Amino acid sequence: MNNRTFMMQGNIAVAEGAIDAGCRFFAGYPITPSSEIAEHLSKKLPVYGGKFIQMEDEIAAMGAVLGASLGGVKSLTATSGPGFSLKQENIGYASLAEIPVVVVNVMRGGPSTGLPTLPSQGDVMQARWGTHGDHPIIVLAPYNVRESYDMTVQAFNMSEKYRVPVILLLDEIIGHVHEKVTLPDPHELKIINRKKPTVPPEKYLPYKIDDSLVPEMANFGEGYRYHVTGLIHDETGFPTNNTVQIERMLIRLNTKIDKYLNEIIQYEETETEDAQIGIVAYGSSARSARNALRMAREKGIKVGMLRIKTIWPFPTDQIYKFAQHLNAIIVPELNLGQMAHEVEHAVKGKVEIHKVNKINGEPIHPREILEKIEELI
């Protein structure tokens, strides 16, 4: 019998999900509102034979988890706004060198030091484009405690399978809310590990281009010696200025996620069959939106919602399909319209996009979304 039923905080669910996914290394620096993840793992990782290191800053923490991952250990770091900004250079390094790692960002108000203890969803675009250059990235956004656990497991699986950094984008509300959850038996979880070399060390090409677009990955210390660099490189891993090789490598890097969109993109539809007004929401704002939808339905207003679970790659096709029979779409979020911009692009002028935004550190109340719904009748 599964007795893994708890009253649990979202941040703790992330830490438990990481352990159950096989994470055995954490490096980070305490920062509100993500600190509970580090605190919990500082106690639990040693029990499972793992390592916890509090680094001198967020830059060093990101570098440490990359090194641990190259050594074959599933690795995690967690942070918030200013720390996430500091990690961007090494997130770019992870993208180019194709190092699997999971980065948790529990969003708070910004910019700069901003609102350390209050919620925001202002890092949506930073999660996609915070590091420079065209690069692949996967970003997941849970909206309750159980999803915080599940998506942490998924984040590790996706990172290992596609050799990309995966960002788990909570907001302060999701990180700190307490809910009753029943977690699965860890032995029942589907766990994915990186694809190991099938050739001897002398024939190994760490960035070989094949039909999967995801190269095999040898762990350091297992007899495979290869070069890892932040410079553009060829299949051997060594830097190149050959324009043909540069283009081949960068195209593979930036299309390997596109090849697997159907496996990666996740979303949830609620009452969409007969909807005339649509809501597109994510994270804690989707909780308010769900209540607003219920209140609207009780008044006879046909409202449906598409909740985005995978923010990047963005579910463009799914939102375009959702828009086909709607009169309007509402996008509630704790910023000035970062997701709304993407939704507007996705619907290609089919319907008008209406924003419900809040940036003062307070959550969006369901009645604020309901008022916008009633304006559009």
For 195-260, the DSSP string reads PPPSS-GGG--TT---TTSS---PPTTSS------SS-B-TTSSB---HHHHHHHHHHHHHTTGGG
Residue 212 lies in a domain: no
- Within the chain, strands assigned E span 5-9, 25-28, 51-54, 75-79, 101-109, 115-119, 138-140, 165-171, 178-182, 267-270, 277-281, 303-308, 310-312, 328-333, 352-357
Name the burial class of residue 211, with classes exposed (0-12), middle (13-18) and buried (19+) by CB atoms within 10 angstroms of its CB.
exposed
Helices 338-347 and 316-323 cross at an angle (nearest 10°) of 70
pLDDT of residue 3: 78
* Structural domain boundaries enclosing 138: 5-188
Whether 232 maps to a domain, the answer reads: no
Q: What is the DSSP letter of 267?
A: E
User: For the chain, what is the domain count?
Assistant: 2
Looking at the fold, whether 166 and 288 belong to one and the same domain comes out as no
Is residue 244 a part of any domain in this protein? no
Domain boundary among 188, 221, 252: 188
Q: Which pLDDT belongs to residue 1?
A: 47
Whether 274 is covered by a domain: the verdict is: yes
Please count the other Cβ atoms lying within 10 Å of the Cβ belonging to residue 103: 29
Same domain, 53 and 171: yes
d(CA 65, CA 70): 9
Residue carrying the six token digits 């905080």: 9
User: Which of 188, 203, 221 corresponds to the end of one domain?
Assistant: 188
Q: Is residue 132 part of a domain?
A: yes
Do 177 and 36 fall into the same domain?
A: yes
Final residue of a structural domain among 139, 164, 188 = 188
Q: Write out the chain's pLDDT in tens, 377 residues.
A: 467 999 999 999 999 999 999 999 999 999 999 999 999 999 999 999 999 999 999 999 999 999 999 999 999 999 999 999 999 999 999 999 999 999 999 999 999 999 999 999 999 999 999 999 999 999 999 999 999 999 999 999 999 999 999 999 999 999 999 999 999 999 999 999 999 999 999 999 999 999 999 999 999 999 999 999 999 999 999 999 999 999 999 999 999 999 999 999 999 999 999 999 999 999 999 999 999 999 999 999 999 999 999 999 999 999 999 999 999 999 999 999 999 999 999 999 999 999 999 999 999 999 999 999 999 98
Do 128 and 20 share a structural domain?
yes
User: Nearest to residue 41, comparing CAs of 62, 15, 61?
Assistant: 15
Contact 173, 363 (CB under 8 A): yes
Cα separation, 143 vs 175, in Å, equals: 9
For residues 161 and 25, membership in a common domain is answered with yes
Q: Are residues 34 and 179 in the same domain?
A: yes
**Domain contains 265:** no
SS3 content of the chain, % helix, strand, coil (to 5): 40, 20, 40
Phi/psi of residue 69, nearest 5 degrees:
-65, -40
- Same domain for 274 and 171: no
Q: Record the tokens describing residue 260, joined without a space.
A: 């697997």
**Residue 226 covered by a domain:** no
Task: Tell me which DSSP letter residue 363 carries.
Answer: P
In a domain, 253, yes or no: no
CATH code at position 175 = 3.40.50.970
Do 178 and 287 fall into the same domain? no
The verdict on 151 and 31 lying in the same domain is yes
pLDDT of residue 262: 96
CATH, residue 300: 3.40.50.920
Same domain as 15, residue 156: yes
Three-state DSSP at 119 gives strand
pLDDT number for residue 318: 98
